[in-house]
Structure 1
Amino acid sequence: MAKPRTDFPPVRACLFDMDGLLINTEDIYTICHNILLQTHNAGPMTWDIKSQLQGRPANESILRLLSFFNLPQVNPETYTTDLHKVQEREFPNAKPLPGVEALLQTLSTSENGGRKIHIALATSSHEGHFKLKTQHLEDMFGVFTKERRILGDDKRIPKGRGKPSPDIYLVALKAINDTLDEGEDEIKPEECLVFEDGIPGVIAGRRAGMRVVWVPHPGLANQYVGREAEVLAGRGEGGELVDEHQPGQVGDGWAEQLVSLVGFPYERYGIVTGK
């Protein structure tokens, strides 16, 4: 086990996943899949398979799902089309998760050593689904300016480089640095705090050289009891090193797990809220 690092610089940028972290769409995804799986005499989706789908590109998730339920006769494209029809009906029911609205509002008015905290969104959701999930939550998502909303179909993310690759978080940091106020120093990866609920996202944040707060759904947390330290190190679903670019070590202090975003410990990250 590594010695925990304790000399981190104060956080200057907070980068947020969306599904299951800011809004309850992970539960909605489950509802949508179960509606469709039932038509194929399969399901229900449980967290042993759902944990393998979180944060991954949609096409990869569908292939994993159909393989898990042994549905080789189901065309992935047809399943995806049918799933989208169900999602179009269900996604507008998305709601903020506990503590999210207060956290985003507080960060938008907080500072670090006299410098404001910058925030960005980094979600695997493509633009069409993003609109379905958020158009009724414009007040909440208004804290993310357009240029700091990095979506899954962003052309700056190479094909096949979604989470758990670090690209989306590196693109989000560049988007912030490209829009800093005059005179502000460029923000470094270790000055960023990634907020994630899914394990591929935790790995992506760690690979990007950033600190991570992991807020898993209770169902996912139950799947990883006893393996939390490996998840926080960004060491993949079973604790193994996934590739040579992964820097995390168990107990290195770069990540922590929270039950929810209620009562977020700002001071732990050098964030001054003014309260």
Structure 2
Amino acid sequence: MLQHLPPIRACIFDVDGTLINSEDIYTDIYNKILASHNKPPYPWRIKATQQSRGTPGTQRLLDWAELPLTVQEWQQKEKAYTHLFTASKVLPGVEKLLEDLATRTAHQLHLSLASSAGASKFALKTSHIPSIAKAFADKRFHVFGDDPEMSDAKKKPEPDIFLLALKRINEAARQAGGKEVDAMECLVFEDSIAGVEAARRAGMRVVWVPHRGLAEVCEGREEEVLMGRTEADGKVPRYGEKIGAEAKKLEPAEDGRLISEDGLAEMRASLEGFPYETYGIRIAGQ
């Protein structure tokens, strides 16, 4: 842990692609719909700009595919395949990480969910996964895209969903007579570029665990993503394209992580072997 950073007191998790393999299922669904319209498979260089972005993200998909459909028509087609999410599985390292954070920390650690997807989809994707149900049993700390306090205009990369999660954590802390949690004491776990940017805008620290397909198209732009600069200028990055020699290449740490220049974000291949001590999190027995 960097000397000037406080220990982490709250962990906020995205769901799709971070805790479970649902991004692969989404891609499969998208490809089935695209194939029915004689369109090519959905590439990660486009999905990188669509993930977690709600209606604007779906519109980017439609524009790329040149499909004469509205966002609502596309979403209706998706509904025919929602049953596929019942096959969702936890990603590597997730079960141990959640068990450690929920039951084995030396001091209380607040856990929250913050997903752009709706509450009913979350239930469909995770109701058969005991480790997620156990770690996030307190529904006060569930924030979804269809939450009454959220709106489509506030989806990632805007910080609203993470700020709302922190607001609810602190409401509970005050009621219990505890100390409120500062944004810099929050660690967000994300797989999407928009999610990383949203967390950075919220003033929080981030662990970015991208799908291997996303990691490939972002090669050379890792620092850009980790610093939350990908859409700050209002332009859509063209991932997967060759970038100039002036781009700064991040050098991996000894344990293989890529860490942003300011030390507030890191990129990992998976959640296996998570370095708790780096964030001031003490696990009993370790």
Structure 1 and Structure 2 fold alike (TM over 0.5): yes
- Matched residue, 2:91: 97
Residue identity opposite 1:264 in structure 2: F
Cα deviation for residue 148 of structure 1 reads 0.5
Q: Residue deviations 1:16-75, cap 9 Å, x none?
A: 000000000000000001111111000201101111111111x3232111100111x234
Match of 2:33 among 29, 32, 36: 36
TM-score (norm. length: structure 2): 0.86
Verify: 1:162 aligned to 2:155, yes or no. Answer: yes
Question: What SS is found at the alignment partner of 2:112?
Answer: strand
Q: Distance in 2 between matches of 1:155 and 1:141?
A: 22
Question: What SS is found at the alignment partner of 2:31?
Answer: helix
Verify: 1:84 aligned to 2:79, yes or no. Answer: yes
- Matched residue, 1:123: 115
Of stretches 185-194 and 171-180 in structure 1, the one that deviates more from structure 2 is: 171-180
Residue identity opposite 1:151 in structure 2: F
Runs ≥4 residues deviating over 3 A: 240-243
Of stretches 61-70 and 174-183 in structure 1, the one that deviates more from structure 2 is: 174-183
Provide structure 1 residue ranges, at least 5 long, that are not aligned to the other structure.
244-249
Verify: 1:175 aligned to 2:171, yes or no. Answer: no
- The 1:139–1:261 alpha-carbon spacing in structure 2 relative to 1, beyond 3 Å, is closer
Verify: 1:45 aligned to 2:42, yes or no. Answer: yes
Q: Distance in 2 between matches of 1:184 and 1:95?
A: 35
Q: Distance in 1 between matches of 2:118 and 2:32?
A: 22
Residue identity opposite 1:95 in structure 2: K
- Matched residue, 2:229: 235
Q: Residue deviations 1:168-192, cap 9 Å, x none?
A: 0010011111112633210000000
Whether contact under 8 Å (1:110, 1:117) holds in the other structure is no
Q: Distance in 2 between matches of 1:210 and 1:168?
A: 12
Q: Distance in 1 between matches of 2:166 and 2:234?
A: 23
Whether contact under 8 Å (2:95, 2:131) holds in the other structure is no
Q: Distance in 2 between matches of 1:206 and 1:121?
A: 17
Verify: 1:135 aligned to 2:127, yes or no. Answer: yes
Provide structure 2 residue ranges, at least 5 long, that are not aligned to the other structure.
236-259
Cα deviation for residue 199 of structure 1 reads 0.4
Match of 1:8 among 2, 5, 10: 5
Question: What SS is found at the alignment partner of 1:272?
Answer: coil
Q: Distance in 2 between matches of 1:268 and 1:28?
A: 33
Question: What SS is found at the alignment partner of 1:178?
Answer: helix
Verify: 1:68 aligned to 2:64, yes or no. Answer: yes
- The 1:189–1:204 alpha-carbon spacing in structure 2 relative to 1, beyond 3 Å, is same
Whether contact under 8 Å (1:5, 1:254) holds in the other structure is no
Cα deviation for residue 82 of structure 1 reads 1.2
Q: Distance in 1 between matches of 2:131 and 2:196?
A: 27
Q: Distance in 2 between matches of 1:18 and 1:254?
A: 21
Cα deviation for residue 241 of structure 1 reads 4.2
Q: Distance in 2 between matches of 1:210 and 1:54?
A: 20
Cα deviation for residue 157 of structure 1 reads 1.9
Verify: 1:195 aligned to 2:189, yes or no. Answer: yes
Question: What SS is found at the alignment partner of 2:66?
Answer: coil
Cα deviation for residue 6 of structure 1 reads 3.9
Verify: 1:204 aligned to 2:186, yes or no. Answer: no
Aligned length: 259
Q: Distance in 2 between matches of 1:47 and 1:102?
A: 29
- Matched residue, 1:247: none
- Matched residue, 2:276: 266
Question: What SS is found at the alignment partner of 1:160?
Answer: helix
Q: Distance in 2 between matches of 1:241 and 1:265?
A: 33
**% identical equivalent positions:** 46
- The 1:160–1:197 alpha-carbon spacing in structure 2 relative to 1, beyond 3 Å, is same
Whether contact under 8 Å (2:98, 2:131) holds in the other structure is no
Q: Trace 1:141-152 onto structure 2 (pairs within 5 A).
A: 141-144=133-136, 145-152=138-145
Q: Distance in 2 between matches of 1:271 and 1:202?
A: 21
Residue identity opposite 1:267 in structure 2: E
- The 1:260–1:121 alpha-carbon spacing in structure 2 relative to 1, beyond 3 Å, is same
